[in-house]
A = this chain, B = another copy of it.
Amino acid sequence: MANLDQAFAAYAHPIRRGIIERLAEREMTVAEATSDFGVSKPAISRHLRVLEEAGAIVRVIDGRQHRLRLREDALDDPYHWLDDLRAMWEHKFATVEQYLAEQRR
């Protein structure tokens, strides 16, 4: 994975998350993985580039089709960042009750 900025940014767009969700099922061509998103092909093409540069997917060019699949470690870096934080804070979060109580003070 390139870096956390790119990784999180890659997953911040619904079309890109949709592509990832489909590719989690199986490898697909561009047309399969991106139909029904309601945007033009060039728009799709750039979403794919963002995902590729973020290290989320790999592309195998097969004739005139491009076969896409998730990278094995696609989700690791953002997942671990979130997971480490979750492990760290435990008791340190704000509860709604605390918040409301302090607002009333």
Contacts and interface: CB of A to CB of B under 8 A. Distances in A.
Nearest to A96: B72
Copy total for this chain = 2
A37 interface: no
Interface in A54-95: 58, 60, 69-72, 74-75, 78-79, 81-83, 85-86, 88-89, 92-95
Interface size class of A (residues with CB under 8 A): 35 or more
State the majority secondary structure of interface residues on A.
helix
Contacts of A58: 94, 99
Interface string A3-38: 011001101111001001100111100000000000
A103 interface: yes
